[in-house]
Amino acid sequence: SAVSGVPHLLTDNDLSSKQLSDVIRMACKFKHQAKVLGKPSGAPLAGKTMALMFSKRSTRTRVATESAVTYLGGHAMFLGSQDIQLGVNESLLDTSKVVSSMVDGIMARVGAHSEIETLAKYSTVPIINALSDLYHPTQILADLMTLHELYTPKGSDPHSVSPTTTLKNLRMAWVGDGNNILHSLMLQLPKVGMHISMATPKGYEPNADILKQAQKNATDAGTEIGVFHDPKEALRGADIVVTDTWISMGQEEEKKQRIKAFAGYQLTTELITESGAQPDWKFLHCLPRKQEEVTDDVFYSPRSHVFQEAENRKWTILACINQLLVEKGF
Ligand code: CP
Ligand code: NVA
């Protein structure tokens, strides 16, 4: 979305199907250029600063963003909640005006999604959502890049084929919480022609407005969204099986009641195969991971691509930053 002419990436619907495919292909190109060929970037962000305003902890998103900005020749400035007045002792309005007057882009990890909307309203530079309670758009870019790499036919170059071709008609099953990761998956998967079936416990369904928006995306794309409570139903026919923690950041005090509510939702090889997933099913997880949502025999199996997925946070965030700060928009 653009606020006052400044382009931002706040939710998954800020990317069209074509823009999403282009970002994934660019990410593949950067990965090849930087990692395989060992080539420098030409430093298009020389002299520029990207601020990372994070009000929650992070391993992947922080390391991905800082190393991506370094590769592009810019400076990444990490501003944790202990370091700056992020909504504590100073309004988000004032913080946004001040920080954006001195930097060239902002990566923001917030609590309530309304906080990033406020930042975007008053920022004079592009803002990328590094996770809010409702969305985690850059995570799904990495998920789709990983699947694109896995499903690109041998002998083809992932940069030169479209994810809308390699991923078309694949079915993802989500078993777990109706959280920010699920919301972002529901919105993005239709844009590459993928179906999604989800199973969440009663009381932990996805946000109803976001589900409605996702159903609209699916109708436009001609893809399916299946909404269930029974993990077996969601897993039937799945090509890709995905979950996330049952206790997101900020929900720590609900741990006891959540563990109870999610009984029966742990992903095990047995549950997945007995439910009729495809014989060659694959597993993804955004990390950080806890044992309660998925057993080691799935998480560390050859079917699991979680570490490739984690690394791809860097290449997809790099492609987003390049698009917003160097190419000046999507
Ligand atoms: N997947 C993810 O966003 O990880 P971090 O919270 O460590 O950044
Ligand atoms: N749902 C998790 C994702 C962490 C990357 C959370 O919000 O904490």
pLDDT digits 0-9 by tens, 114-173: 999 999 999 999 999 999 999 999 999 999 999 999 999 999 999 999 999 999 999 999
Residue 245 Cβ < 6 Å to ligand 2: yes
Candidates 181, 220, 223; CA nearest to 200 is: 181
Residue 60 Cβ < 6 Å to ligand 1: yes
Q: What is the pLDDT of residues 271-298, one digit of tens each?
A: 999 999 999 999 999 999 999 999 999 9
Looking at the CA of 61, name the nearest ligand: 1
Q: Which value does ipTM take for this structure?
A: 0.99
One pLDDT digit (tens) per residue for the chain, 330 residues: 777 789 999 999 999 999 999 999 999 999 999 999 999 999 999 999 999 999 999 999 999 999 999 999 999 999 998 887 677 788 899 999 999 999 999 999 999 999 999 999 999 999 999 999 999 999 999 999 999 999 999 999 999 999 999 999 999 999 999 999 999 999 999 999 999 999 999 999 999 999 999 999 999 999 999 999 999 999 999 999 999 999 999 999 999 999 999 999 999 999 999 999 999 999 999 999 999 999 999 999 999 999 999 999 999 999 999 999 999 889
Beta bridge partners of 227: 198
Domain boundaries 2-135+313-326, corresponding CATH code: 3.40.50.1370
Share of the chain above pLDDT 90, in %: 94
Residue 185 Cβ < 6 Å to ligand 2: no
Take residue 305 and report the two structure tokens written for it: 């691509």
Q: How far is the CA of 231 from the centre of ligand 2 (A)?
A: 21
> CA–CA separation, 2 vs 123, rounded Å?
11
Q: Where in the chain is the domain with CATH 3.40.50.1370?
A: 2-135+313-326, 139-310
Which of 53, 59, 184, 312 has most ligand 1 atoms within 8 Å of CB, for mutation? 59
Residue 249 Cβ < 6 Å to ligand 1: no
Looking at the CA of 64, name the nearest ligand: 1
Looking at residue 294, the DSSP 8-state letter turns out to be B
Nearest CA to ligand 1 atom 1: 286
Nearest CA to ligand 2 atom 6: 248
Measured from the Cα of 63, ligand 1's closest atom is: 8
Residue 138 Cβ < 6 Å to ligand 2: no
| Contact indicator for 276, 110 with CB cutoff of 8 Å | no
Beta bridge partners of 283: 241, 304
Nearest CA to ligand 1 atom 7: 59
| Contact indicator for 10, 136 with CB cutoff of 8 Å | no
> CA–CA separation, 243 vs 182, rounded Å?
9
Catalytic, 28? Answer no
CATH superfamily of 139-310: Aspartate/ornithine carbamoyltransferase (3.40.50.1370)
Residue 31 Cβ < 6 Å to ligand 1: no
Take residue 127 and report the two structure tokens written for it: 């803002």
Question: Among the options 286, 298, 306, 319, which is catalytic?
Answer: 286
Distances (CA, A) of 182 to 6, 138, 281, 286, 298: 27, 13, 19, 11, 20
Q: How far is the CA of 288 from the centre of ligand 1 (A)?
A: 7
Rg of the chain (C-alpha set)? 19
> CA–CA separation, 53 vs 139, rounded Å?
17
Phi, psi at 127, each rounded to 5°: -120, 135
Nearest CA to ligand 2 atom 1: 248
pTM of the predicted structure, to 2 decimals? 0.98
Residue 251 Cβ < 6 Å to ligand 2: no
